[in-house]
Structure 1
Amino acid sequence: MARKTKEEAEKTRQALLDSAFKVFSEKGYAKTTLQDIAQDAGVTRGAVYWHFKNKTDLFEKLFDCAFMPVRDLLFSKFEEDLSPKEMLAGLMRVWILHAGGDNNFRAAFEIMFNKTEWSEELMPFKMKFREYEYKFIKRAEKIIEQGQADGVFREDLVPEVAAAQYFSILLGLVQYTLIFPKEVDIEKEVEPLIAMFMNSCLKEN
């Protein structure tokens, strides 16, 4: 019986997260209430408070659900024994495939970019998110520096600038697919997209 109760609780929690994706996408953070989410999920408002402290907590858990698997996958690649070229290409490949085909990942970015007014209550979440972005950019800088030391990347590259460009391309691709979803299938164009960036970094033979 205890196992069934636990399973049912997890099922309710997931239903609330699914509804949060939907309702935040439709109404935006500011105009969404916990009652809206509870109603969409077919549960009581009390059930929401059983799983989440408040709307901000639910918002943060929603983004954890969407981004943590991708973040963990990206940061795990930093530990792989790859050349700088292979590393940057591999990270880019993971990102583009999720940006093109992971519905939760895309929905979370849609909410973040277009449906959220960054009020004071959301600042801790935003700063946590920015911290992960900064760590990623600094790791990219180190990879580019190593590529230069290996004689693979151009000597005239400024690692900070190249890493900023790299990160901007990744973020921009998500935005582009949200604004123009039918223009380019980035999942199918993943290798050309990677090649365009890598060719801007590689030393001429």
Structure 2
Amino acid sequence: MREWLKERQAELHADLTDTRSRVLEAAAQVFSSNGYVNSSLDKVAEYAGLSKGAVYWHFSSKQDLFLSILKQTYEQQLRLLPHQVDHILSSNEPMTALSEWLESQFNCLEAGEERSSLFLEFLVSGEAEIRENLQKLHGHMMDEIGILLQEMQRRGYMAEDVDPRSIALMLDALLKGVLIEWILDPRPDSLRALIHTISKTLWHGIRGPANQ
């Protein structure tokens, strides 16, 4: 009986986790397509093919759901980044690897995915709690990336006279700027040319002795 209860608890936990993931995935699409103001938990439930109760079980409000997407996005980026940086540095052609990584960040743009503009909703949201949480998450992410870049600097991959956290901020600003440029001029060739130029300029500007 005890073993059966453990198995049942595990199954219920898996079901809840799966449902929560479905809600987050649907919400990202709904918020991106409709904007924060015109979205609702009811629309998310409909898009996910779930009951309203299933959505409200996991999230108490639209703001709660929005903040959960925001947190998930930053956590995913931080989890993947160390491996991505290691791949770039271990490549025989680091600058090319950097360019390919930057281009991969925007593959969703050519595929027509509206989620790529979701972060703009975070930035323009007028709700104080959302903006406050965004500032905290963004600051934490920049700190973590700064630490990663500082280690690169210690190993000689970055010049000694550049500030790692400032480089993190600059790269983040460049990525957001590329997205805005794509919204204004959605041409794939133009996007690739911009990414290649950014990669070349960035790499030659910050590389250290280990990259010479």
User: Normalised by the shorter chain, which TM-score bucket?
Assistant: 0.5 to 0.7
Picking from 166, 170, 173, the partner of 2:171 is 166
**Residue 27 of structure 1: how far off its partner (Å):** 2.1
User: Could you tell me how far apart the structure 2 residues matched to 1:174 and 1:6 are?
Assistant: 37
Report the structure, 1 or 2, having the larger helix content. Answer: 2
1:40-189 to 2 correspondence within 5 Å? 40-75=47-82, 94-101=101-108, 107-114=114-121, 116-136=124-144, 138-139=146-147, 142=150, 146=154, 150=156, 153=159, 158-159=162-163, 163=167, 164-184=169-189
- Asked whether the 8 Å contact 2:28–2:69 carries over to 1, the reply is yes
- Report the Cα offset of residue 117 of structure 1: 1.8
Aligned residues: 198
> In structure 1, what is the Cα distance between the partners aligned to 2:138 and 2:152?
21
1:79 to 1:176, Cα distance in 2 relative to 1, 3 A:
same
Higher mean C-alpha deviation, range 26-35 or range 132-141:
132-141
- After the TM superposition, which of the residue ranges 20-29 and 129-138 deviates more from structure 2? 129-138
Indicate whether 1:197 and 2:197 are aligned.
no
Name the TM-score, length of structure 1 as normaliser. 0.67
Question: What displacement does 1:179 show?
Answer: 4.0
CA distance in 2, matches of 1:183, 1:146: 37
Instruction: Give the Cα–Cα distance (whole angstroms) in 1 for the partners of residues 65 and 140 of structure 2.
Output: 20
Consecutive unaligned residues of structure 2, counting only runs of 5 or more, are 1-6
Query: Where does residue 24 of structure 1 map in the other structure?
Result: 31
Letter in 2 for 1:49: Y
Question: 1:173 offset after TM fit, Å?
Answer: 2.3
- Deviation of 1:76 after TM superposition, in Å, equals 5.3
Q: Give the deviation of 1:20 after TM superposition.
A: 0.7
Aligned alpha-carbon RMSD (Å):
4.3
Residue 126 of structure 1: how far off its partner (Å) = 0.9
Are the equivalent residues in 1 in contact too, given 2:32–2:117 (CA < 8 A)?
A: yes
Q: How far apart in 1 are the matches of 2:157 and 2:57?
A: 56
> What are the ranges of 5 or more consecutive residues in structure 1 without an aligned counterpart?
none
Q: Deviation of residue 34 (structure 1)?
A: 1.2
SS in 2 for 1:111: helix
1:120: Cα distance to partner?
1.3
Confirm or deny: 8 A CA contact 2:41 2:52 kept in the other structure. yes
